[in-house]
Each structure stands twice: as structure tokens, then as C-alpha cells.
């Protein structure tokens, strides 16, 4: 199958004239052969030679041409634009090639009219109804072909558009017929590519069928020979001999057919190329016949796509201040959509002008598939468009929780830019479709973008104490006292409700003494405990190497009588510390209990036996 490639407009009339001359020569030299069609013209020449099953009658002359779609060359674009359509155009003198082409068409019309006349005579002479019906249908088809040829002749002779003079019957739209027309060139191309393999497969299938017939005929022959060997009566013997001869003939014919099919198969297998050679050959033919069309179509798509995108960027550069306006966003969106659709339309125009119906059908089916698939995603696409236009549930400048982390929506277009200023690498740039289903809100004036900053000391809900040394959208890394490092997922870190100690914190501890000291329980005991803690904790912090002086690290010490429990008089110790003391939190917690026990020993205060444990509660200052 040959395919016409794009030709310059200037040489199109010359090429058409050469094609018509070739057709005329073929019709004159080979009146009984098959017509040769120009590349990419529909094969509408029909061989009307009578079939073996047709009724006897006069031998018809093979039809040299049934539908010659010959179109006059269009005038150059410059002439077409300069001509007033309301004024009659001056016709040019026909060339010698055009006259020869008209003579060829006239011979084709004469042949077709002769066929119609002969079939009419056969119909008049026909006696049985079956022959009459067959000839009637044949005559109707021939008349339709004759009428089409006359229109083609008239169109080429007068060189005008005849559609305004033709009353065509309107046919109801049938999408199945239209789809079959679209798929026909593709299926034909696939059949052509697999022609050899299918022929070999059909031969093998026929051989299998013939072999089965031969086997069954042989079995039938052996059965009949066994029956004849038993010497039946004369009448039965005669009938069995008749059937034996019939089955022997079937077996012989099957054997001969099998041998012929096997010979054809072996010949095809010998001539068949390897898979690599077939693939390479098909690729070469594809490039030779459709390579230029494909290159031109891709170039047309790229030209439209890049040109429209460049125009969109140029408009944005001309007025950067108006970039966030709704009209600018809408214009940019429409230009981006047209860059794709316009590119595809340019490809379709190229394939249509080239007459490459195979590639044209591929592109159309591709577009239909995309359209069909887009029906299910239409709501999501609508939401995406609303986000691009900044009229959706996510707006620029608002606070958005994405993957468990808060972000500021810095910009919305075909891509979204999310920023968290407190995270290392806290810039997320992604297609805007990933924000479908999310909701943003205006941020608070003092609302933090992350619970901590790098360098903060925190205590988590799982009891772990550490300093934040790195935080990013992926993870937060803590360094515990002593140097051990622990990594948490960023959203998991937030879920553990980190208690920030760097700005100051409070340690709450509980201690109890015996009921024997009830008389001084609310006066002297709290004062003595506070003095002991104030004096001893300063030394503890100094020995631990706290950066600030011990006196400044301890902000406040309070000892409060909490309650008289069943076995002891309980006290709450509130110790407020600066953030620099956060690394010493475990040491301070243990020191409070030791200092109070030493104070009890010094003052002679008893500790009840049931007070075997120390209950601690810590809250931030």
C-alpha cells in the first residue's frame, strides 16, 4: 500500500496530470487487467466479471474503472485570495494532458454504459425469478457506479464544485459506521503487516483439516474392505463397492490436497524472512512511506505548542504585576490548553493534507480514548482548574496542612509552591492537582509554622528528652544528653506533642513526711525545704556545667503543702528553671529528692514507711 506524502502546492497540478496520463495509458494498454490506482486514492475500481455461480449469459467486458476520483487541481492560494468569490472566474485553456485524461474517462464511461446495456438485455431474456433477482441487483449496482462516474467526468470537465447541484439524501448518523470507516485503514495496515504470518497460519489450519478428512476417509475405506471380505450377497456387495470407490476417491483427493498444501507451506517457509528481517523491513517501509508525514506532523505540533507557550510567557513578562489577576490566570490557562489542542489539530491537518488515513486514524482514536477516559476524572479536573484560577478551596497566602505539616501557599498556577520557613528544605513544588481535596485557611497573626526550631530542647510524650539538631519536611533529628541521636518522622514528631524547654520550664516533684510533724507542717517545714533546695540546687547546676550562672538558671523555688494523705503529709515542689538547664533535667529531678531527704535527716523529720516511691509531675513554665 502506497501513501502519498505532502507535495508543494506549486507542482500539484503537474503531478495530478501525470497520474491521469498513467491511468489513461493503463486503460488503453490493458483493458482486461486490474486498474492501478494513484497512491492514497480509494480503490473503487470494481471487476464486474461474471462469477462461476452466475447464470449463463453474454460475456461482459471487464470494467476498466468504476470510480475514478479525479479532482481538478486547486488554484494557488494567492490567486484564491485575490479572486472575488462573487465574480465568475476566468477558465484557463485545458492542457493536452487534461484532454487525454478526459478521453480515458470517456472510454471508462463507454465501457460502463455497455455493461449496463448488456445486463439489461440479460434481464429481459431471463426466465426464472432467481436469475431475474440476481440481475436486478447487479443492474442497480452498475447504474450507481455509472452515475458516480458521470459525476466524476462532469466535475473534471467543467472544473467547478458540483455539490450545490446534487441533491443528496440525508442519512441518519450511525456512529458504528463512522467508527468502522475510521478503523478500516488501521486494520488494513495491520493486515498488511501480518499478511505472511496469517497466510502460513491459514495453510496450517487447512492442512490440519485435510489431514483429518484423509484419516477418516482411510478408516471408512478399511471398514468397507472388511465388510466386502465377508462375501455379502450380490446386491449389498454392489452397493458396498460403490461406497468403497467413493471413499477411496475422497481419501485420494484429501491426500493430494494435503501434499499440495504441504508444498505451498514449505515454499512459504523457505521464502519467509526472519522475525528481525520482517520487523526491519516493515520499519523501513513505514519510514519510507510515512516517515516524512510523521516528521512534518511532529514539527507542526512542536511549532504550535512552543509558539503558544512562548506567547503565554511573553504576556506574563509584559505585565508581571497582573500575574495574580483572575483574567491573567484565565488567559494563561486557555493558552496552555490551546497549546496542546492546537498542536494536535495541526497534526491532524498535516495527516489529512498528506492523505495518510492510517496515522490520522491513530491520532483520532487516541483523542477519543483521552476524551472517554477524561469523563471519569471530570470532577477532579474541574477542581484542578478552580485551583489554577485561585478560586478553589486552597488559596494563595493561606495556611495549608499537607502530609501532616503546615505550609504557606506561596503561589498557585499549573504548579503549586508550598513553603514552611521553619523547616530545612521546607519548599514543596508540585503539580496543582495534588492539592485537590485539601482546604486552606487564613493563618493567625502569631501562629507558629512548626512547634520547634533547630537548637530547641524538647521533651516528648514518650518521655524522651533531646535537642533538635535538624528538622525538615521528612524528619526531625533529636540529640539526647550524652550525644545519642534519634530520628522521628516529621508528622510523627508533631503527634508526640513536643514540650519545648528552651524558653524556660518547670519541674514539679512530690514529697511527704510523717504525721508526727503535723504542728510545723504548714509553717516551718515548707520554709526549711525551700532553703535547702535553694542552697543545694545551685551547687548541682554549677557542678553540671550550666552555661548561665546557677543563680540565674533557677528562676523560682516554691514548696507548697499539698494534702494530708492516709499515711503522710505531702508537699509539692515547683522548680522554675531557665532553658539553659534543660539538658540537666534528669539530674535535677533526682537531686530534688536527695536534697529533701538530707534536709529531713538534718531536721530529724521522719518519713513514713509507706512512702516508698516519689511521684513526679513536670509541666512547662
Nearest residue to 257 via CA among 290, 211, 316: 211
550, 541 contact by CB (below 8 A) = yes
388, 432 contact by CB (below 8 A) = yes
CA-CA distance, 124 to 6, in Å (whole number)? Answer: 50
- Give whichever of 62-76, 283-297, 475-489, 603-617 has the largest mean pLDDT: 475-489
Q: Is the pLDDT of residue 86 over 70?
A: no
pLDDT at 94: 66
Taking the alpha carbons at both ends of the chain, their separation in whole angstroms is: 87
CA-CA distance, 97 to 29, in Å (whole number)? Answer: 17
Q: Is the pLDDT of residue 594 over 80?
A: yes
Q: What are the pLDDT digits (tens) for 384-399? A: 888 888 888 999 889 9
CA atoms within 13 A on the CB side of 560: 11
Q: Is the pLDDT of residue 6 over 60?
A: no
Q: Is the pLDDT of residue 566 over 80?
A: yes
Q: Whole-number mean pLDDT of the chain?
A: 77
Least confident of 80-84, 198-202, 414-418: 80-84
- Whole-angstrom CA distances from 559 to 40, 120, 383, 433, 526 are 102, 127, 60, 59, 5
Maximum distance among all Cα pairs of the chain, rounded to whole angstroms? 146
pLDDT at 15: 43
* Banded model confidence at residue 268, pLDDT cuts 50, 70, 90: confident
CA-CA distance, 220 to 213, in Å (whole number)? Answer: 10
Three-state DSSP at 103 gives helix
pLDDT at 153: 82
Cβ-based neighbours of 81, under 8 Å, separated by 6 or more: none
pLDDT at 592: 92
Neighbours of 267 (CB within 10 A): 11
CA-CA distance, 270 to 159, in Å (whole number)? Answer: 53
Three-state DSSP at 325 gives coil
495, 549 contact by CB (below 8 A) = no
Q: Is the pLDDT of residue 407 over 90?
A: yes
Q: Is the pLDDT of residue 166 over 70?
A: no
Q: What are the pLDDT digits (tens) for 95-134? A: 777 788 788 888 888 988 999 999 899 888 888 888 888 8
Q: What are the pLDDT digits (tens) for 174-232? A: 666 766 766 677 677 666 666 777 788 888 888 899 999 989 999 999 988 888 888 88
Query: DSSP labels for 134-195?
Result: HHHHHHHHHHHHHHHHHHHHHHHHHTS--GGG--PPPPPP-HHHHHHHHHHHHHHHHHHHTH
pLDDT cut 70: percent of the chain above it:
73
Q: What angle do CA 115, 121, 124 make, to 5 degrees?
A: 140
* Location of C-alpha cell 497549546: 339
Cβ-based neighbours of 65, under 8 Å, separated by 6 or more: 23, 27, 35, 45, 105, 108, 111, 149
Amino acid at each position: 500500500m502506497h501513501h502519498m506524502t505532502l507535495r508543494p502546492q506549486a507542482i500539484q497540478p503537474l503531478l495530478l496530470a501525470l497520474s491521469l496520463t498513467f491511468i489513461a495509458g493503463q486503460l488503453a494498454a490493458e483493458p482486461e487487467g486490474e486498474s492501478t490506482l494513484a497512491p492514497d486514492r480509494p480503490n473503487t475500481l470494481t471487476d464486474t466479471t461474471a462469477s462461476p455461480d452466475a447464470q449463463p449469459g453474454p460475456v461482459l467486458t471487464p470494467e476498466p474503472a468504476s470510480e475514478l476520483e479525479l479532482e481538478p487541481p486547486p488554484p494557488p492560494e494567492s490567486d484564491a485570495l485575490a479572486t472575488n468569490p462573487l465574480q465568475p472566474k476566468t477558465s484557463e485553456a485545458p492542457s493536452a494532458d487534461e484532454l487525454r485524461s478526459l478521453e480515458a474517462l470517456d472510454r471508462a464511461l463507454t465501457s460502463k454504459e455497455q455493461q449496463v446495456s448488456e445486463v439489461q438485455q440479460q434481464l429481459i431474456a431471463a426466465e426464472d425469478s432467481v436469475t431475474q433477482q440476481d440481475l436486478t441487483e447487479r443492474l442497480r449496482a452498475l447504474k450507481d457506479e455509472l452515475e458516480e462516474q458521470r459525476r466524476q467526468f462532469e466535475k473534471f470537465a467543467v472544473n467547478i464544485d458540483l455539490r450545490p447541484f446534487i441533491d443528496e439524501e440525508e442519512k441518519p448518523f450511525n456512529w458504528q459506521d463512522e467508527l468502522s470507516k475510521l478503523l478500516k485503514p488501521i486494520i488494513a495496515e495491520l493486515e498488511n503487516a501480518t499478511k505472511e504470518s496469517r497466510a502460513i497460519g491459514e495453510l496450517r489450519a487447512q492442512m490440519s483439516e485435510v489431514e483429518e478428512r484423509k484419516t477418516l476417509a482411510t478408516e471408512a475405506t478399511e471398514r468397507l474392505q472388511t465388510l466386502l471380505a465377508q462375501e455379502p450377497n450380490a446386491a449389498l456387495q454392489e452397493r458396498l463397492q460403490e461406497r468403497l470407490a467413493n471413499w477411496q476417491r475422497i481419501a485420494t483427493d484429501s491426500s493430494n490436497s494435503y501434499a499440495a498444501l504441504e508444498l505451498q507451506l514449505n515454499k512459504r517457509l523457505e521464502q519467509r524472512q526472519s522475525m528481525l528481517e520482517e520487523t526491519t523491513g516493515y520499519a523501513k517501509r513505514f519510514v519510507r512511506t510515512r516517515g516524512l508525514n510523521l516528521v512534518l506532523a511532529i514539527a507542526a505540533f512542536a511549532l504550535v505548542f512552543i509558539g503558544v507557550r512562548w506567547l503565554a510567557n511573553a504576556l506574563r513578562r509584559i505585565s508581571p504585576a497582573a500575574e495574580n489577576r483572575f483574567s491573567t490566570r484565565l488567559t494563561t490557562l486557555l493558552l496552555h490548553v490551546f497549546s496542546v489542542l492546537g498542536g494536535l489539530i495541526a497534526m491532524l491537518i498535516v495527516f489529512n493534507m498528506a492523505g495518510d488515513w492510517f496515522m490520522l486514524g491513530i491520532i483520532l482514536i487516541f483523542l477519543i480514548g483521552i476524551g472517554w477516559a477524561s469523563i471519569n476524572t471530570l470532577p477532579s479536573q474541574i477542581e484542578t482548574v478552580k485551583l489554577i484560577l485561585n478560586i478553589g478551596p486552597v488559596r494563595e497566602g493561606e495556611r495549608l496542612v499537607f502530609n501532616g505539616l503546615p505550609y504557606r501557599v506561596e503561589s498557585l498556577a499549573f504548579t503549586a509552591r508550598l513553603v514552611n520557613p521553619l523547616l530545612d528544605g521546607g519548599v514543596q513544588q508540585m503539580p496543582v492537582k495534588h492539592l485537590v481535596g485539601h482546604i486552606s485557611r487564613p493563618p493567625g497573626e502569631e501562629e507558629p509554622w512548626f512547634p520547634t526550631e533547630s537548637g530547641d530542647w524538647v521533651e516528648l510524650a514518650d518521655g524522651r528528652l533531646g535537642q533538635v539538631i535538624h528538622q525538615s519536611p521528612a524528619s526531625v533529628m533529636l540529640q539526647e544528653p550524652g550525644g545519642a541521636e534519634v530520628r522521628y518522622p516529621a508528622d510523627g514528631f508533631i503527634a508526640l506533642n513536643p514540650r519545648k524547654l528552651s524558653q524556660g520550664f518547670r519541674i514539679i516533684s512530690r514529697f511527704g513526711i510523717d504525721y508526727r510533724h503535723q504542728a510545723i507542717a504548714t509553717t516551718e517545714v515548707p520554709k526549711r525545704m525551700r532553703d535547702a533546695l535553694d542552697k543545694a540546687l545551685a551547687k548541682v547546676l554549677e557542678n553540671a556545667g550550666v552555661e548561665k550562672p546557677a543563680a540565674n538558671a533557677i528562676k523560682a523555688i516554691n514548696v507548697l503543702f499539698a494534702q494530708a494523705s492516709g499515711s503522710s503529709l505531702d508537699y509539692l515542689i515547683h522548680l522554675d528553671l531557665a532553658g539553659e538547664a534543660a539538658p540537666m533535667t534528669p539530674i535535677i529531678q533526682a537531686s530534688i529528692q536527695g536534697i529533701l531527704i538530707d534536709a529531713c535527716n538534718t531536721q530529724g523529720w521522719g518519713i513514713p514507711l509507706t512512702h516508698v516511691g516519689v511521684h513526679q509531675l513536670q509541666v512547662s513554665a
